[in-house]
A and B are shown apart, each in its own frame.
Chain A
Amino acid sequence: GAVVSQHPSWVICKSGTSVKIECRSLDFQATTMFWYRQFPKQSLMLMATSNEGSKATYEQGVEKDKFLINHASLTLSTLTVTSAHPEDSSFYICSAFSGSHTGELFFGEGSRLTVL
């Protein structure tokens, strides 16, 4: 099946720094990618929809200036957590539908962010 790869898997940073997470579709082109956030023992909460070549669409309550999304190519979307604070610590997962859009959503491995 389609493969979505995410990097880094783990990141620890100091408060106030920015962290970039990459999401790549390895064997298909993804005009749209999705970024989710998952707190411990909770469900996947959609943060934003990343659209290739255009601005991302953010869900209500998600600060677009805080979580910068760039989808510069059909295989790469990046999420940058700017001026990170401890409350931003979470598991971030990207996903994309395969090119054939069978409806199956493929997930990246996830990135665990810890802000000290």
Chain B
Amino acid sequence: GENVEQHPSTLSVQEGDSAVIKCTYSDSASNYFPWYKQELGKRPQLIIDIRSNVGEKKDQRIAVTLNKTAKHFSLHITETQPEDSAVYFCAALSPGYSTLTFGKGTMLLVSP
């Protein structure tokens, strides 16, 4: 089945710095890659996603890049703010499976 690896597990940055979280996936047929933000005790919220026919997508301070050849995708957050502090999960959707496979998560801490 699909296997998603996510790094780093924790990431601490200063307010205003950029943060990058990287994920790799194993199934070359996977075609949808969402990123979720989860605050403590709350449900995961979709923040951005990318499909396999696109190499990059940007939404204000958040961007995602996809390298299908290398089978990895990354989340980029610029001008980080304390409210960006949360756990971020990457995921991949393989056509052969009914649901998403999640990475282990990255705890992002943005210090004022």
Select from chain A the residue with minimum beta-carbon distance to B51. A103
Select from chain A the residue with minimum beta-carbon distance to B103. A43
Q: Is residue B100 contacting chain A, with contact meaning CB distance below 8 A?
A: yes
Q: Give A32 to B51 CA distance when docked, in angstroms.
A: 22
Q: Is residue A67 contacting chain B, with contact meaning CB distance below 8 A?
A: no
Chain B's interface size range is 20 to 34
User: Cβ of A108: which chain B residues have Cβ within 8 Å of it?
Assistant: 43
User: Cβ of A42: which chain B residues have Cβ within 8 Å of it?
Assistant: 104-105
| Count of chain A residues near B, Cβ 8 A | 20
Select from chain B the residue with minimum beta-carbon distance to A49. B98
Let me know if A107 and B44 touch, CB within 8 A. yes
Let me know if A105 and B99 touch, CB within 8 A. yes
Q: Give A112 to B41 CA distance when docked, in angstroms.
A: 8
Q: Is residue A104 contacting chain B, with contact meaning CB distance below 8 A?
A: yes
User: Cβ of B99: which chain A residues have Cβ within 8 Å of it?
Assistant: 34, 46, 49, 95, 97, 105
- Contact code string B39-83 (vs A, CB < 8 Å = 1, else 0): 001111110010100000000000000000000000000000000
- Asked whether A43 and B98 contact (CB < 8 A) given A104-B49, A107-B44, the answer is no
Select from chain A the residue with minimum beta-carbon distance to B6. A43
Let me know if B43 and A32 touch, CB within 8 A. no
Known: A43-B89, A104-B49, A105-B91. 8 other contacts (CB 8 A): A34-B99, A43-B103, A44-B44, A103-B32, A103-B93, A107-B44, A110-B41, A110-B42
Give A residues with C-beta under 8 Å from B.
32, 34, 41-44, 46, 49, 91, 93, 95, 97, 103-105, 107-110, 112
Give B residues with C-beta under 8 Å from A.
32, 34, 41-46, 49, 51, 89, 91, 93, 98-100, 102-105, 107
Pick 11 A–B contacts, CB within 8 A, sort by A: A34-B98, A41-B105, A42-B104, A44-B89, A46-B99, A49-B98, A91-B41, A93-B44, A103-B32, A103-B51, A109-B43
